[in-house]
Structure 1
Amino acid sequence: MPKDTLLEFLWSDPKTSRRGPKPQVNRGRIVEAAIKIADSEGIDAASMQRIAVEVEVTKMALYRHIPGRSELIGLMIEVGLGPAPAVAGPWHEGLRNWADAMETALSRHRWLSSALVGPRPIGPGELGWTEAGLDALSDAPLSASERLDTLVLVGSHVRGIVEQNGVHTTATERASGARLTALLREHREEFPLSMEAYSGTATADTADQAYDYGLQRILAGVAALIESR
């Protein structure tokens, strides 16, 4: 589907009535099933065939509601992100709340961080997040383009942390980290700086620490730019 057509699809009203018997499934149920599969097995596992099995209809029945893979991913993003957060107070507090809400959404649906990357049509739900972020920065003496670039920077940081470490570290990931620490101890003479750095975070939640550190540095940088004016 061309990008313009995909954009119109994401902004269309799925509640438009159709003549004939009531279908066994609808757009919402299909997307719900796709997200359930993606949450447990990854977004690649959420194929139309797999979803058809999940909702107990034929694969062709799905295409009456969602034309293809691009439309499915677009709707999954819209539902996965959920409603945009409310922001209030000074710009740095509002932006922090926006970032925390984004972190929560992306950690709930780990496939979202990769799905959000790259140029693509944006639906009203995702645009609502942009609107909320810009609203958080509305009292900051920045240009409109600077506010948008600030959101991109913060969003990239949140996605990067979720992709690299995960906000909720699994037992497998913790075991892998413990093994790396043990190996560093064995090779401390070869990697002394890495040993020192990893030892400093051994008792902390590394993902949370990296998230907070990076976000604080970004906010401090924006604050410095504002003060310079």
Structure 2
Amino acid sequence: MLWGPRPKPSRGPKPALSLDRIARAGVEIADAEGLPAVSMQRVAGLLDFTKMSLYRYVPGKAELVALMVETAIGEPPQQETVRDWRRELRDWTHRLVTVFDRHPWLLDATVGPRVMGPKELAWMEQALAALDGTGLTGSERMDAVVLLTGHVRGIAQQARAARPMGAPEKQLAAALGELMREHGERYPALTAALTSAHHSGGQDQALEFGLHRILDGLAVLITERCAS
């Protein structure tokens, strides 16, 4: 269903549904209530069809979720024609963060052994292509993409946990601040760091801080390779 021609039901009347429509219905439910709320029954009900009729198109929930992931992640955005690996990876990371922010359930749906669809692999292809010509090995380019994706997932995980209470770093700072008021003398380094962050306005920068440190590390490695 992800890679071949979209199959048509082998029997019964003329198809009244499509895989795209079914996937969009699943995404709608997951966006509103999370991935556990998605079931063949719920999707069929949203589409005003019976559960059994849905099985003529999708064999089960695993296949449904795979289609939902492909629909939610979409095509990677077009990159600028000017080649700049650092800017390309920075923009790629920001856009991937936006996808996870729109569809937090992707955190649950994109783990473990599974078949990836062409759109999801196109995202990986775009990030790897940004590192072409940098001198990094194929393994290093793959590891760089995994590292960036892991950073995005970590930020998305924090953001999901914080909903609807606000920014995760502000939550953490508030909770730690309360503890430090009572026990700060036991944790002087933590107290000093929190105080400095508060006065400098340096909170809620985890995405950018981590992203730039990853890119800085890649830049050092790329410079070494170019010099050798």
TM, length-normalised to structure 1: 0.84
Moved more, 27-36 or 189-198: 189-198
Judge conservation of contact 1:90–1:139 (CA < 8 Å) in 2.
no
Q: Quote the residue 1:4 is aligned against.
A: none
**CA deviation vs aligned residue, 1:84-137 (integer Å, no higher than 9, x gap):** 122242111111111111111111101112322222111111111111111211
Give unpaired runs (5+ residues) of structure 2.
none
Residues in 2 aligned to 1:63 and 1:110: alpha-carbon distance in whole angstroms: 26
1:74 paired residue among 46, 63, 66: 66
**Structure 2: distance between partners of 1:201 and 1:50:** 46
**Deviating 4+ runs (over 6 angstroms):** none
Q: Give the structure 2 partner of residue 163 of structure 1.
A: 157
Contact 1:82 1:125 in 2 (8 A): yes
Distance 1:87 1:137, change over 3 A: farther
Q: Which whole-Å CA distance do the structure 2 matches of 1:41 and 1:181 have between them?
A: 32
> Is contact 1:94–1:137 with CA below 8 Å preserved after alignment?
no
- Alignment of structure 1 residues 19-34 onto 2, 5 Å: 21-34=13-26
Percent identity, aligned pairs only, is 43
What SS class does the counterpart of residue 139 from structure 1 fall into? Answer: coil
CA shift, 1:185, in A, is: 2.4
Question: Which blocks of at least 5 consecutive residues in structure 1 are unaligned?
Answer: 1-8
- The answer to whether 1:91 aligns with 2:85 is yes
Alignment partner of 1:172 is 2:196: no
CA contact (8 A) 1:92 1:219 kept: yes
Distance change (3 Å), C-alpha of 1:188 and 1:127: same
- How far apart, CA to CA, are the structure 2 residues paired with 1:31 and 1:138? 34
How far did 1:219 drift?
0.5
CA contact (8 A) 2:3 2:118 kept: yes
Change in 2 beyond 3 A, CA 1:144/1:68 = same
Residue 54 of structure 1 is aligned with which of 25, 46, 63? 46
**In 2, Cα distance between the equivalents of 1:185 and 1:222?**
40
For residue 218 of structure 1, the aligned residue among 209, 214, 217 is: 214
Number of paired residues?
Answer: 218
Query: What is the TM-score when the length of structure 2 is the normalising length?
Result: 0.84
Mapped to 2, the partners of 1:17 and 1:148 lie a distance apart of: 39
Q: Structure 1 111/171 Cα, relative in aligned 2: closer, same or farther at 3 Å?
A: closer
Taking a change above 3 Å as real, the CA distance of residues 221 and 48 of structure 1, as seen in their structure-2 partners, is same
Post-superposition CA distance 1:142-183 (Å, at most 9, x none): 12222111111111111111112349x644245854455334
Q: Partners in 2 of 1:180 and 1:56 — Cα distance?
A: 49
Aligned-partner residue type, residue 161 of structure 1: I
For residues 95 and 155 of structure 2, the distance between their equivalents in structure 1, rounded to whole angstroms, comes to: 14
Question: How far apart are residue 69 of structure 1 and its match?
Answer: 1.5
Cα pair 2:35 2:108 within 8 Å, conserved: no
Find 2:119's aligned residue among 121, 125, 131: 125
Corresponding letter in the other structure for 2:37: A
- 1:172 counterpart letter in structure 2: M
Distance 1:186 1:124, change over 3 A: same
Question: How well do the aligned residues superpose, as a CA RMSD in angstroms?
Answer: 2.4
1:200, CA displacement in angstroms?
4.3
Deviation (angstroms), 1:43? 0.6
